[in-house]
Structure 1
């Protein structure tokens, strides 16, 4: 399992559009094969900055999602709302405390 972190900067007037769209697709993303966890965070000091954290069983699962019709639709509707280039990291969890 590994963690995928995506940082996104949105145009201020597009935040509500992003949140509405995310609400309609979050369950589909979460139920995509290999996805084990999905959360959305908003920066406390800059409300235009959001992060998604998702846990994936394998890199192949993430790649299958990134090549899916679902991702193409979600990303196509999301990227037009950005104010800056998104950043993404795939990381291995080293320590987890309950």
Structure 2
């Protein structure tokens, strides 16, 4: 199970409830951050991100956890039009609408 550790960077914040992060978890987080165009921010604390970057980080968390269901409340809030369209396309592809 993935969780968030306060004060850590986006990648480092992924922890296993029982202890250290497994390689598979790190790979899932790295892939998810890349899919929402936040990979270059992986060492930053979430508190330093803009509103749109935080929104994308939350979607990346759901993707990394391989959530079978995404409940999105205004997922494009704080995103510019390009980022909003990219995010909606990512969600569409995830639900099998390719």
**TM-score range, shorter-chain basis?**
0.3 to 0.5
| TM-score of the pair, normalised by structure 1 | 0.33
Larger fraction in helix: 2
| TM-score of the pair, normalised by structure 2 | 0.33
Larger fraction in strand: 1
Higher relative contact order (CA 8 A, sep 6+): 1
